[in-house]
Amino acid sequence: MDDNELQRALIEANIPGAAYMIVDRDGARFEGAWGTADAGKSTPMRIDTPCQIASMTKVLVSASAMQLVERGQLELDAPIAGVLSELAQPNVLDGFDDGGAPVLRPAKRDITLRHLLTHTAGFGYFFVHTEVLRYFSHVGMPKPGAKSGIEMALMFDPGERWEYGVATDWVGQAIEAATGQKLRDYMRENLFDPLGMADTAFLDQPHPNAAAVHRRLPESGFATTPAFLGGGEFDAGGAGLTSTAPDYARFMRAILRGGDLDGRRILETGTVAEMGRNQIGELRAGHLPTVMPQLANPFDMLPDQHTGWGLGFLINPERGPDGRSPGSLSWSGLFNSYFWIDPAAGVAGVFMAQLSPFGDAGALSAFGALERMAYA
């Protein structure tokens, strides 16, 4: 493979550094690293430099929940309140009164695990949705890592819309309730160890060799920021993992292979297929507005497609502009990490950067060049 286009894209992107891989069912087809892991120290980025993968945590937690569905310990369509009493009798935010207080009403239906996995439960993010930020501004903004950050009124009745939010954090809580284990312990024993993902974990402190999170300086260059999504009061199933490109590639290969890698099966083939099937009907998934542009730009990976959502993945119904087949699976992480999995073509790719805010045009351009390499 000719990586000249990718090298040009990385230079033009003007990002601090990145690690990236293209894999197929049998192993790595291409891998590399570029730039620095810490611009302040000129530390080189390596293919196995640990990175905070933020929302790329979600599909790993979703896969863990589906293991429990296979075992009968969780049910997709039963009220999740049977496992999580905190989600019994949820309220929906129905506006604000003249004094700015939230106006609540009972939800029309129960929340299910399927709602949580498909982001149709009604939860949002305070940095994405104006009404959620306004709600927390009244009840009190949660401290970083506090469980109160996922305790909120719903934006809408379960099943009626797709909006991105803290639902997968609640999936992690459901895994803990169903198994009696900490999320980190369950996932290590049932996902990370079987797949050989030795460098993937919920950490209480930043990894000593992790890439720093960077911000662009007004004129040129980068400053590092102490942003860390781990630690806190609970294992954040929506964003808390640190991982590496090779580790994440092992999970992607397991999905390409129908749930099996190197003789270790993490999911049944039918379960993997169901995770990759659109679960939300005519609803459209994938668009994220923003109310905190210092954290995230508005984002829509495929704005010209009516993208769907499976049990953990964004799904494109048409061929992507950089080559991925219809029915491919993808998502991203807050610090400009991205992946796609193409079951039809048997290829997948991961791109890990550590740059804020999310949706950086340069990082997206470089990720697009990586994808084009896979189909060249």
pLDDT in tens, 187-227: 999 999 999 999 999 999 999 999 999 999 998 899 999 99
Pairwise CA distance, residues 371 & 357, whole Å: 22
Strands 355-356 and 213-216: parallel
Pairwise CA distance, residues 120 & 112, whole Å: 10
The pLDDT of residue 3 is 80
Quick one: which of 307, 305, 261 has its CA closest to 286?
Answer: 307
pTM: 0.97
The pLDDT of residue 4 is 85
pLDDT for 167 beyond 70: yes
Please identify which of the residues 55, 328, 330, 332 carries the catalytic annotation: 55
The domain that holds 157 is classified in CATH as 3.40.710.10
Q: What are phi and psi of 242, to 5 degrees?
A: -105, 140
The answer to whether 147 is a known catalytic residue is no
pLDDT in tens, 303-331: 999 999 999 999 999 999 999 999 999 99
The answer to whether 58 is a known catalytic residue is yes
- Name the band, by pLDDT with cuts 50, 70 and 90, for residue 127: very high
Please identify which of the residues 58, 125, 332, 338 carries the catalytic annotation: 58
The pLDDT of residue 2 is 64
The pLDDT of residue 219 is 85
pLDDT in tens, 140-163: 999 989 999 999 999 999 999 999
The pLDDT of residue 144 is 87
The answer to whether 135 is a known catalytic residue is no
User: Tokens 């580790």 identify what position?
Assistant: 247
What is the count of structural domains for the chain? Answer: 1
Q: Which domain holds residue 314?
A: 4-375
Among left, alpha and beta (phi > 0; psi -120 to 50; other), residue 102 is: beta
The pLDDT of residue 57 is 98
Please identify which of the residues 164, 186, 248, 338 carries the catalytic annotation: 164
pLDDT in tens, 2-49: 688 899 999 999 999 999 999 999 999 999 999 999 998 989 999 999
